[in-house]
Amino acid sequence: MTALDARPDSQTALRFPQGFRWGTATAAYQIEGAAAEDGRTPSVWDTFSRIPGTVRNGDTGDIAADHYHRLDEDIALLRRLGVTDYRFSVAWPRVVPTGRGPVNTKGLDFYRRLVDGLLEAGIRPVATLYHWDLPQELEDAGGWPARETAYRFAEYAGVMAEALGDRVATWTTLNEPWCAAFLGYGNGVHAPGRTDALASLRAAHHLNLAHGLAARVLRGALPASAEVSLTLNLHAVRALSESPEDRDAARRIDAVGNRIFLDPVFHGRLPEDLVRDTAGITDWSFVEDGDLATTAAPIDSLGINYYSPAVVAAGSSESPSPWAGAERHVRFEPAPGPRTAMDWPVDADGLYELLVRLRDELPGVPLVVTENGAAYDDYADPSGNVKDPERVAYLHAHLAAVHRALADGADVRGYFLWSLLDNFEWAYGYSKRFGIVHVDFATQRRTLKDSARWYADVIARGGLGG
């Protein structure tokens, strides 16, 4: 499949290429529940969510959306939507409870049932190996700042490839390693809640190393037809003004927010300006000979998660900061326009900008929008309907941006809406709803929102309007 051959023939009919992948995405800790069942052991999020004040209302993922027990019901929802693909993550502590050593057969059986159910429904499984639920035992041994964690991750990747390699078409090593490194170890708003700039940089490198090691393991274990991928939450960074100071602020954020992953993975190098920016924190001696050749293991596609842009200016950020090396030089400014319930600006142009940037910087690398969506204050009305016109408008604008990028030559292969279900939204607990399916967390009742019906229509039409 290639990019669109021509722009749409009307202002309202935006058709996507034949074979474009339409999906939704979820993450294990956010939906599965069953946190202590069938051999699963605690992850860093189980531990973190029990620390007073870390998660709104003291919420945990113990039950979440109870997906573990409602698997058939949720696969039926996916079939009803008509998605071609479903992107889920595997809970590492459910499969390898201590992060190393014996495999938990009951944990693997759950993912076998999930994958087999998807295939029976005609839905292509897309598995993410890591969406932030590091086994607590590995964190106790040093976590991602420790090199050994990368090797344990590669072993876990091998376990999953052996178990499901004949049935899963796409394997994503990591989801948003920036969040795992810098929110988990930099400013501590995510698990494990550490605030150490050096630890965050070490974690970023070891996540890159883990990706490269796992990619090699997957290549050796999977059929030639299987795809190996990585998903990054790349930042659409804009300088507040054209002043040299503001432009340098944008450069710094691009270095520690984007190129800290893009350069090692696609070019086998560290960004030179990042090394200079962080010289007061580290000399990067933890990067060993051969590491950058490993991080640059070839992959078949790059996933992009996008929600909103960032506007930056010269200044300083609050401490502790996730922006290692930039915190004393950069401040974040509010972007104009409407905002979601997360107080994130709505700006679909940022997604277009990222896609065309990657078109230019990574020629020949297929792109997939692996997360895009919005939280709003949804509720079921007295008749049981959940009307969410703001979400429909958000999704329409962002799909139109993807279409525009396709028309301008970006090789975008698919779009995965975040998220299928309302879920545990990390530090926000259950207070923010991203799903196109409403979940009443007291009863676990699922209700299609208007956005779900709208998305099903988009999929059936193969695009917007017309």
Torsion sign across C-alpha atoms 256, 259, 261, 263: negative
Give the strands of the sheet with 237-239, arranged side by side.
Answer: 237-239, 310-314, 330-333
450 closest CA partner among 381, 392, 408, 375: 392
Distance CA(177)–CA(185), nearest Å, equals 11
206 closest CA partner among 303, 295, 324, 90: 295
310 closest CA partner among 347, 277, 335, 336: 335
Taking phi over 0 as left and psi of -120 to 50 as alpha, with beta for the rest, 274 belongs to alpha
**Residue 141 has which token pair?**
């041994």
Could you tell me which residues come within 8 angstroms of residue 113 by beta carbon, excluding any fewer than 6 positions away? Answer: 71
Catalytic residue numbers read: 176, 371
User: How many CB atoms within 10 Å of residue 224?
Assistant: 5
Question: Do 163 and 145 form a contact (C-beta atoms < 8 A)?
Answer: no
**Residue 326 has which token pair?**
């930039």
**Residue 84 has which token pair?**
């071609």
Taking phi over 0 as left and psi of -120 to 50 as alpha, with beta for the rest, 64 belongs to left
276-to-251, 271, 291, 327 alpha-carbon distances in Å:
12, 9, 20, 14
**Residue 458 has which token pair?**
């988009």
Distance CA(387)–CA(93), nearest Å, equals 37
